[in-house]
A = this chain, B = another copy of it.
Amino acid sequence: MREQFQEELDAVSSTLVDMAGLVKTAMQNATTALLTADLALAEKVIADDLIIDEIQHELDAKTINLIARQSPVATDLRTLVTSLRMSADLERMGDLAHHIAKSARMRYPATAVPPELSLTIEEMGRVCVSIIEKVALVLKNRDTDRALEVEKDDDAIDSLHRKIIQTLLDPSWQHGIETAIDMTLLGRYYERCADHAVSIARRVYFLVTGTYASDKA
């Protein structure tokens, strides 16, 4: 009985790792589609978001069913409740990749990002993808050191976000209001994606140590 329960707990955890993998690919593809005006890739990210939503839906149903059948208490219950929260974070991260892909599609055949911001957006995408990769490892190995790293990577995202805003406000900005609106929202999407990643890292940290990561970071 206990052994089967442990297998089911492991399956929940492994589905979260799979979701993180899909979100990572979505964010990678969304950024490439955005920077290269790749319509087919943007459409793929948009379509694949439904797969992430579906996995979350099934995972949550399984998790609730597991709580109902096994009446877990203490750590097991906390693990399952935390899974529900982390699947919601991952689903939302998928939505944000979807939003970025929609921005690429909306401006096609033009490139949504003007030349002076393409390196910054590329870097934001790269850091965001690396954060999601780390979160997958945090989920897989309950790796608390890596969970603390995610907090620091998030500072890099915030600093890139400020760089975008500075570029928009520079008197040399010549791409007008519409592109400024796009860039403001894109910066916000990457920032929110990283926020959800931090939230997952903190949840795992708390599950493993019983203390809050923010006290150590």
Question: Is A40 part of the binding interface, using a Cβ–Cβ cutoff of 8 Å?
Answer: no
A169 touches B178 (CB 8 A): yes
List the number of copies, as a whole number: 2
Question: Is A188 part of the binding interface, using a Cβ–Cβ cutoff of 8 Å?
Answer: yes
Question: Is A68 part of the binding interface, using a Cβ–Cβ cutoff of 8 Å?
Answer: yes
Contacts of A168 in B (CB 8 A): 177, 181
Which of A12-20, A29-37, A73-81, A120-128 lies on the face that meets chain B? A73-81
Question: Is A110 part of the binding interface, using a Cβ–Cβ cutoff of 8 Å?
Answer: no
Main secondary structure of the interface of A (DSSP, over half): helix
Interface string of A69-91 (1 = CB under 8 A from B): 00111100110010011001000
- How many A residues touch B, CB cutoff 8 Å? 24
Question: Is A211 part of the binding interface, using a Cβ–Cβ cutoff of 8 Å?
Answer: no
Contacts of A119 in B (CB 8 A): none
Contact pick for A181, options B67, B71, B85, B184, CB 8 Å: B184
Interface string of A182-195 (1 = CB under 8 A from B): 00110010000000
Contact pick for A68, options B73, B88, B181, CB 8 Å: B73
A64 touches B84 (CB 8 A): no
Which single residue of chain B is at the shortest CB-CB distance from A170?
B177
Q: Give the one of A64, A81, A181 with max B CB within 10 A.
A: A181
Closest chain B CB from A173 CB (angstroms): 6
Question: Is A165 part of the binding interface, using a Cβ–Cβ cutoff of 8 Å?
Answer: yes
Question: Is A59 part of the binding interface, using a Cβ–Cβ cutoff of 8 Å?
Answer: no
Name 9 extra pairs, CB < 8 A, besides A88-B88, A180-B180.
A67-B77, A67-B81, A68-B73, A71-B71, A168-B181, A169-B177, A169-B181, A184-B185, A185-B188
Return 25 A-B CB contacts under 8 Å, by A number: A64-B77, A64-B78, A67-B67, A67-B77, A67-B81, A68-B72, A68-B73, A68-B74, A68-B77, A81-B84, A84-B84, A84-B85, A85-B88, A165-B181, A168-B177, A169-B178, A173-B177, A177-B180, A180-B180, A180-B181, A180-B184, A181-B181, A181-B184, A184-B184, A185-B188
